[in-house]
Structure 1
Amino acid sequence: MNLKDLSLKLGLSPTTVSRALNGYPEVSAATRERVMAAARLYNYQPNTRAIRLATGRAMAVGHVIPVETRHEIVNPIFADFIAGAGETYSKAGYDLILSIVPDGDEARVYREMKSRGNVDGVIVHSPKQDDFRIKLLHEIKMPFVVHGRATGAGHPYSWVDVNNRRAFRRATDFLLDLGHSRIGLVNGLEFMDFAIRRRTGYQEALTARNVGVDCQLMRSIEMTEGLGYQAVREMLALPAPPTAFLLSSMIIALGARRAIDEAGLRIGRDISVIIHDDDLSYMKNGGDVPIFTATRSSVREAGRLAAAMLLETIATPAAAPSNRLLEAELIIGQSTGPAPQRP
């Protein structure tokens, strides 16, 4: 069965059926589900070779990761994003090409992708302030979507991001409401745009409550278990240690928990902890009752949205850039409680 036959059975135009199968956001959920059910019923599979010949497209999307961020490959956050994006690509008959490139070679790789025509578009990961990739991709006319935002970029661009500033302001406010005034922030690397926004939210909440911002209580690290352990251990050794921590990832939290246990403290009683991004497929935050209080966002859903946005950009390159800002939900777990009374 081809696309035209499936369209006739559904009484829909081939364009609508194609967009529903490709996950484009303007197709209603009811129509998409109807089309997907019919595709399963009739075992419809897009003819990728025919699409390539008819459209001149490569039917592939690129993800370029420099070696300097190689830890991102094994990060469950990256894995969930790729899983969500891959679901959308697969439904649309697209392949995913993941390229690990030497540091400083990203520009060359993007230009080669464009000249060879082996991808129809790319998703940009881990944007920095004034990210050079946005200008470059505009120059070479490569369709792209950014996972995150790049403050200071001089060109409009499509992006999907979580509201990091608001999430961390809300989390800090929650700890302040519990009576904590010594709140440690263990953030991601602060040349990354998301980390800058998280620090901003944290500082805004403290300033609004007339709580001083103490540089001793802030760390900017690569988000690994070992560095999370080291950062929390150092802050707990201060003469006036934190009574609460705001941590940028579940992975940092694993190291933080080790440092807190070594100090003979109990999370939720002696120390409060809030983490970010706990909605991960392979690293669950407990069962019915979450272990950690968390600002929750689905990275897998962000992958689906970014992939659908990119496929729409590829299909209609003249369209204006699209933006999608997702809000994180504050989930109350067992890791937070009132600030302990200390001499």
Structure 2
Amino acid sequence: MKELKLYSEKHLSRYLSVRPGETKLGEKVQFCNSFEDLEKTPAKIVIFGIPEDIGVRANYGKPGTAGAWKEFLKSFLNVQENEYNSGDKILLLGEITTSELMQKAGNIDISDPNYVQKLGDLVLQLDTMVSEVVKKVILAGKFPVIIGGGHNNAYGNIKGASEAFSKPINVLNIDAHTDLRKTDYRHSGNGFSYAFKNGFLERYSVFGLHKNYTPHYIFEEMKQSENIHFNLLEELPKQGREKTFLEHLNFVRSEKFGLELDCDAIENFPSSAVSPAGLGMEEIRKLLQEVANEENCCYLHICEAMAAEYFSTGKALSYLVTDFLRHRTYA
């Protein structure tokens, strides 16, 4: 499958730090040679990465999200295998083959008057690649965990899941932004707009939205829609935020739904739109645990993270993923 670079044990050995008397997740995770093999493996969790920042650049954002996947691997593969973590339940599939698209994006002159539109054309190609992989993973009876890249990839996730289930799905998005910008060309700020437009998204709930970075026209559109639920970070109570989050979960949980986490929502997390205001890391961990055991949750996507010298991005992403998987019993 040209959309995906499949991983093997040999490929990932360079990331492993093996110690005598200890076992790491990277020594136990499963691999496959094809999607036919994927259906046969007993592992129910399938993890893959999207190393790109094309959609972020097309949205006038700061590039760098392409490196999050590698940072995640360095940490996740070295998590201890113990009574709380089991690599046997996980299949590490590989990564979307973004190298050619990334090279094309890098060759576009930023002074070109059609710079962002040309990037958007590349995002459209990426959409197809992501949606095909997500669709195949779900049709194989597995639960996809998707790491890295911009939030433009939410569209591919939603499209792939919707096609796998042959109906629109719901989405719960923990995010500082709605990503409901106009559908003029593809970028990281309109994945959900396109998902609505093309009939792949039914109900959409946004938790932790920032007042300062949501255009007026989007507020107006959300208020007029019965299929969109949102709340504002600035209006969340100091205590009892879990109750508010449960309202968002209730809005989507009756049908198949995807869980999207944009790291822009986390306070001081290195991301394409890092913010000094946001939800705390420990708070985010609890929210993911809350959703993990929902039977109708059909994928997890963590995006917009960036590597930084001052922050252990890979370790943070690993905590989020292991927290979710530890509480996931339906996969």
TM-score normalised over the length of structure 2: 0.30
